[in-house]
Structure 1
Amino acid sequence: MIKVYIAEDDFRVANIHEQFLQKIPEVQLLGKAGNCKETLKAVKKHKIDLVILDNYMPDGHGIDLIDDIYSLSPQTDIILVSAENDKAYVETAIRKGVKGIIIKPATLERFVSTIIKYMENKKNLQHANQIDQDFLDDFFGVGRIQKPAVVAKGIDPLTLQKVRDVLMDHSSGITAEKMGEQMGASRTTARRYLEHLVAIDECFAELAYGIVGRPERHYYMKKD
């Protein structure tokens, strides 16, 4: 359950935002304030997860209230909802660490999607056992980076794809000799393609020691 407080001087807008919040499961509205002073009192009194903060208040600006809120309650997050769209205002808000900015008039879809994204990030961070790059990419909305299609001189893309397919079918590894048999090529050619995949970090090789003779390199496809 996310505990939310609305700081908005226009009671009509505050009521609309309250109605929007009612559309979102797992949200509890603790109250509403019409100015900065009342907002700070509420932050002191309640354990608030999220403040929906307007910028223009009768006794000050929401952007200036952010530091005071964090000082009183470091665990409280802030999403700004304001008609202000000045670049300097937005840059300042981002530097201060707000979790979102919605420009008025806020539509139901925009308001709800912003709150839900905030809730998902908060929940995922709380329950994460470990943090890896994929987690951070999802958290910050960064698309997964695709490996570039690197093809060296003398490497045929179609043949290379065939080598990939064979590797995928041999999870226990395959030698260059066996690969050559599978792709209808010499051991030397197969090894060249396999070593190319090692060079571009798509597969890896390990030495396997038999009963007699020299150890052989076995190639394995890397898992995503």
Structure 2
Amino acid sequence: MEDEDVTAALYADHVSRLPGFSPAGRAASVDEARRLVAAALRRDGRFPFDVVLLDMNLPDGHGLDLLGQLRAAGFEGGVLALTAATELPVVRRALALGVVQYLVKPFGFDELAARLTGFRSADALLAGDGRLGGQDQIDDVFRVGRHRGAEELPKGLTDGTLRTVVDAVRAADAGLSASEVGERLGMSRVTARRYLEHLVAIGRVDRRARHGGRGRPEQEYVWRAGAARR
């Protein structure tokens, strides 16, 4: 939900750039959002979206009022607030209604990408009807779902090494394979690939097939134009 057309279009573009995500709809007001949800609800009553990007101050009401109605109707998905509102009563109410991420405008693509990637990781941990494997996985769910940011890395990755991988890819004249990054930085291909795939997941690096050699095409990684270093 966003009442500024240009900003809403930018958010839709950001979401479209992330693997595994696509915009399900766009609303510029509380009333428009209600109508959009009512029209899109499936026959079984399930919501046709997993994450809501929520502005607070809308022309005909407050975003949290709509969220309260969505929760009452059974929506259990993630909610990411994209807003300029920093008043404590608003923040407290957002937490009470299950807003798991809160981005204060203005922000960039990398910040939004990191938080949406966190939603996807949490969803993967919560899929199915079994049970989590103890406190460590419980902590992972709440860390990813509530406060995973651009500087928090998947288990086993370190910020210092990530910076060296970023510098290597950015400085390259052409795309680099995981083997080439590993050779330049003195690490294994598997380790280099983990860092490169993390950069792909948060939208800083693009992965593409390198043709011309024998056998299967090798994957190479290219810094995405306009992506921030951190």
TM over 0.5: yes
Offset of 1:56 from its aligned partner?
A: 1.0
Kindly indicate whether the alpha-carbon contact (under 8 Å) linking 1:43 and 1:72 is maintained by their aligned counterparts in 2. no
In structure 2, the CA distance between the partners of 1:77 and 1:42, relative to structure 1 (3 Å rule), is farther
CA contact (8 A) 2:64 2:94 kept: yes
Distance 1:53 1:103 in 2: 11
Higher relative contact order (CA 8 A, sep 6+): 2
Does the aligned pair in 1 maintain the 2:30–2:58 contact within 8 Å? yes
Structure 1: runs of 5+ lacking an equivalent: 1-6, 144-224
Higher-Rg member (1/2): 1
Residue identity in the other structure for 1:28? S
Runs of 4+ in 1 over 6 A off after TM superposition: none
Q: Determine which of 22, 28, 35 is the counterpart of 1:28.
A: 22
CA contact (8 A) 1:69 1:76 kept: no
- 1:13-39 Cα offsets, whole Å, 9 max, x none, are 101111111221111212211100111
1:111 corresponding residue in structure 2: 112
Q: What CA deviation, in whole Å up to 9, does each residue of 1:26-71 have, x standing for no partner?
A: 1121221110011112222222211111111110011222111122
1: CA distance, partners of 2:74 / 2:102: 20
Distance 1:40 1:28 in 2: 20
Find the counterpart in structure 1 of residue 52 from structure 2. 51
Does residue 63 in structure 1 map to residue 64 in structure 2? yes
Distance 1:28 1:104, change over 3 A: same
Shift of 1:122: 1.3
Equivalent residues in 2 for 1:61-140, closer than 5 Å: 61-127=62-128, 129-131=130-132, 132-140=134-142
Give the SS at the match of 1:22.
helix
Per-residue CA shift, 1:127-182, capped at 9, x if unaligned? 47322111111112299xxxxxxxxxxxxxxxxxxxxxxxxxxxxxxxxxxxxxxx
**Structure 2 gap ranges (5+):** 41-47, 145-151, 153-230
TM-score normalized with structure 2 length: 0.56
Aligned-residue identity in percent: 24
Matched AA of 2:138: L
Letter of the structure 2 residue corresponding to residue 37 of structure 1: D
Cα displacement (A) at 1:110: 0.8
* Structure 1 match to 2:2: 8
Counterpart pick for 2:31 among 31, 37, 42: 37
C-alpha contact (below 8 Å) 2:78/2:119 kept by paired residues = no
Contact 1:82/1:103 (8 A) holds in 2: yes
RMSD between superposed Cα atoms in Å:
1.9
In the alignment, the residues of structure 2 paired with residue 44 and residue 125 of structure 1 have an alpha-carbon distance, to the nearest angstrom, of: 26
**Aligned residues of 1:44 and 1:72 also touching (Cα < 8 A):** no
Contact 1:9–1:58 (Cα < 8 Å) also in 2: yes
